[in-house]
Structure formats: C-alpha cells, structure tokens
Structure 1
Amino acid sequence: MKKRLAFLTVIAVALSQLALADGRVNIFYPGQSQPLVVNPVADLEQLVTDPALAQKTWWPGTAIGEKLATVGALQQQQQLLARLQAWRDRLHNEGDDSQAATVDNVRRQIAVLKVTGRQFVNLDPDWVRLRPQANRRLQGEYSVYTLNEPTSITLAGAIESTGKVPWAAGRSAVEYLAAHPRMSGAERSTALLISPGGEVTEIPVAYWNRRHVEPQAGSTLFIGFSTWTLPRAYADLNLQIVSVLTHRIPD
C-alpha cells in the first residue's frame, strides 16, 4: 500500500511539473487594460482554438509576445531612442537644425510605441491545425494582443504628418506617400512595407523606379534615412528602427 501511495505521489508531482511547464497566456482585447488569463496552455493549437480568441480577433495582425523576449524588445527601443537623441544633439551642435528636426521627429515616433517580444508565427487556426510543424509548444509566459480588422495603414519615418491614414482598396504605396513630403535627409527611392504579421518588404517609390504595390490594411509604410545622410556609426539605424516597428503592439 505504501509503495502504491508513493507511486501515485510521484505521478502527481510529475503531472504538476508538466502543468507548470505549459504556458500562461494573457489575452488583451482592444480598449481593455486588464487581460484575460488562460492557463495552462500547452501549444499554439490549444491557444488559437480557445473560446477566448475564437471570432474575437483579426488573425493576420494578432501578435503574441513572450515575456523574456519583451524585456529585450524594450531594451532595443531604449537603445534606439538613445542613439537618435545622441545623433540629434550632434546635429544641433554642428548647426544642422533641419536634419536634427528630422531625427527628432523619428525619435518622438519611436518613443510613443508600445512594443512586445513578438514571436513571428502564423496564428491562423487553420494554418496551425493543418501543419504539425507550426504547432509550437508554449512554455513560460506570453501575451496575445487582439485587434479588430483594421481600416487604415500607418505612415512612419522621415516624412511629415505621420500616423494612421484611411486604407483604400487599390491604392498604391506611392499614392499614400504623395501627401506626406519627405523631411531633410529622408530616403527618396525606396520605402519599407511592414505587413500586419511583421514581414518586411522593400518597395521602389521614386518616379524612375516606382512599382505598384498595394499595402494591406493594418500595414506600416516606413521612410527611412538615406544612406548618404547616415554617419558611419549610424549605418544600421534604419534596420534598428524597422526591427522596433515590427515589434509594435497592434492598436
């Protein structure tokens, strides 16, 4: 009898450890500050088929962030802000106020972003259910950010009047940018298009190389700094900005 009880105790402990290994997920809904906690969650399939998410989010833009990765994303954002501020101050000291204004404009855009340690996985329930390799195991703590189907795109970077603009079917990236003049030192030949899922595509937008590309609703269209504007120490700045933008919490 004692052996049987000892065996059952071992089994109970093992099961509790397995449960602890499963994920804890905080689900955030639009307009609500307090999340719904789902726990335990073993894998993506269990998560995306949970009633807490079914029919309650627009899957292409739904973001899932991991707790430790979020710490890294926040650190990257702060490092980027420090670099932009240092470059802005240097430009002011050199008397280049127009370029300093551009850098400060971008810095202010980055400062107000809310970011998460986004995991770049396809959360569409059909995709996850039909592809065993996509059914990632969840261990640790996660946050899922739901959203309504968007009706706008976001313009960001070294241009005037950034922010959300209404999305229109058939409208090209060039047309969205036409009413938003480039600021001093902005890239003029290409733009970077960030899809709702975080994929980044470079698209030509100058009069001599332009290509008709229609941004999906919920996308971000980013105009970076031109290569001739960036000092050697800031050569990777556009890439760092885009990385932060891909980790933005949908709104």
Structure 2
Amino acid sequence: MKYQLKKCYWLLVACLFASYGAVANSIAVVQVNVNGKPVQSLSFNERPRLDSLVINSLKFSKQSMINVDWGASGFFDLSKPFVSKDKVISDLEFSAVNSSDKEHKAVLALVAKLKEMNFAKREFIDLDPDFIRLSEKGNPKIDGKWLLSVKHTPQKVLVVGAVNHNKNVEWQSRTDALSYIHQANLLNTNTSSVIVIQPDGVIQKHQVAYWNSDFQEVAPGAIIYVPFVSADSALDKAVIELLKNRI
C-alpha cells in the first residue's frame, strides 16, 4: 500500500513538472478573457499565425465568432511589465497637492478608479480572422505572452476625469459626448472639449460647448475623458494614453 501511494505521489510530481515544462518551453502563451473574465490559457510550441491563434482561442473557450465585437476586443502584450499605470497615478497624486478642494477630490477619485482598472500594452490590430487573412503583413507570427480579450458588444460608456462622478453610463444610439458627461456631473461648466477613446483605441476630440458643439457618435464601450487642464497638457496626455491600453 505504501509503495502504491509513493508511486502515485512521484507520478503526480512528474506530471506537474511536465506541465510546467510544457508552458515554460512554449513559444507563445495566450490567456483568453471573455467579457473581462479569464476562461482559458493556450500554449503553442510553434509560432502561430494571428488568425490561427484567434480561431483556436475562440474554439477552446467555446465562443462563436458571430457574438464577438472585434472593435471592442483587444490583443495585449504581457511579455513585459506595463509601468505606465504607476507613473500616471503618481503624477496625478502629486498634481492633487496644489489643486483646489473641488479638483483635489476629483483627481483622487480618478486615481481610485484607475487603481481598480487593469492595463497592458495593447497592439492595435484587427482581430477578425476573415480580415486578418487578407494579407500576410496583417497576419503575423506570434511569440511571447499575450492576452486576447474577447468582448461581446458592450452596453456602457465610461466617463472619467474632471467630473464629480466617474461612472459607467448606459449607451444609447445617436447620443453625443455632451449627453454622457452631463450624467457624470461636470466639474467645470466651461469645458469646451473632451477626449473620446473609442473601443478600437481611436482617439477623438469632441467639442461639447454650446458655441462649438458638433455631433459625433460615441460607440458602445468607449471611454470619455474630461481633461483637468486641456487634452494637450502632459499629464492629461499621459492619462489618455493609459486609458487607451485598458484591458
């Protein structure tokens, strides 16, 4: 009996080491998240083409291509630490020291929101396999550690920045940025423009003052950032760049 238990123990140890070795020796490792939740991890012993990686990821995570919103989905490089988050948070906390009471509170609220969020270096490439296959350049071979974030069509728009309430707002068709930011209660009523980070990472400046307003669509899953100074200030630019890499 003792011999059998000992044999089973060493067999289990051998299996664990073999499993670890398979991952450690893999050329590409992909974590698959669906709507923000981890569901599968895939390892490849040869460099897969991007279309093959995406198709296999969907297959093993039991996701239908029909349900995927390719614009909202993202591909993130996990091979290197993403240090921008800590730097931006540190700079925001420093800027809050000399702010007015109202702005101080809003900056710290943004810091708290950013701490809740996850970020990584995003590769802004099309993930739809039907599109990827059109050219070899758009279908590269992949190695390293990656995260494939698969999303169904979101139903919210996130409003953050110089507002009294950083919040998710229900997305509505044919609704502009001004309508969304009013729901978050603007810190400065003279705000003339905001930055919209569309789900595919495209950054747009939307005019929202009564004298310069022009209608532009906000896609479901977008982030609206209301600058504290202006979209051209170094700190606001850093926040925008960070938000663009949200997982």
The interval holding the TM-score normalised by the smaller chain is 0.7 to 0.9
2:182 aligned residue: 178
Cα distance between partner residues in 1 of 2:32 and 2:202: 23
CA separation of 1:149/1:235 partners in 2, compared to 1, >3 Å: closer, same or farther? closer
1:111 aligns with 2:112: no
Residues 187, 226 of structure 1: 8 Å contact kept: no
After superposition, give the CA deviation of every residue in 1:124-168 in whole Å (9 maximum; x if it has no partner): 112101122211220111111112221121111111222211111
Residue 192 of structure 1, CA deviation: 0.7
Q: 1:48 aligns with which of 44, 48, 54?
A: 54
2:40 paired residue number = 35
Q: How does 1:189-228 map to 2 (within 5 A)?
A: 189-227=192-230
Gaps of 5+ in 2: 1-24
What TM-score, normalized by structure 1, do the two folds share? Answer: 0.78
Partner of 2:11: none
Aligned to 2:12: none
Q: 1:193 to 1:35 in 2, by over 3 A?
A: same
The residue number in structure 2 matching 1:25 is 30
Q: CA deviation at 1:54?
A: 4.4
| SS of alignment partner, residue 195 of structure 2 | strand
Counterpart of 2:142? 138
| Residue correspondences, number | 217
Deviation, 1:102, is 2.2
- CA separation in 2, counterparts of 1:212 and 1:200? 16
Structure-1 separation of matches of 2:105 and 2:40: 38
RMSD: 2.3
State the secondary structure of the residue aligned to 1:136: coil
Moved more, 172-181 or 198-207: 172-181
Partner of 2:18: none
1:47-126 matches, within 5 Å, as: 47-50=53-56, 51-52=59-60, 54-55=64-65, 57-69=68-80, 71-72=81-82, 75-91=83-99, 96-126=100-130
Q: Which consecutive residues of structure 1, in runs of 5 or more, have no partner in the other structure? A: 1-19
Report the TM-score, using the length of structure 2 for normalisation.
0.79
Structure 1 counterpart of 2:164, one-letter code:
E
Distance 1:194 1:109, change over 3 A: same
Residue 181 of structure 1 and its aligned partner are, at CA, apart by 2.5
3-state SS, counterpart of residue 118 of structure 1: strand
Aligned position for 2:6: none
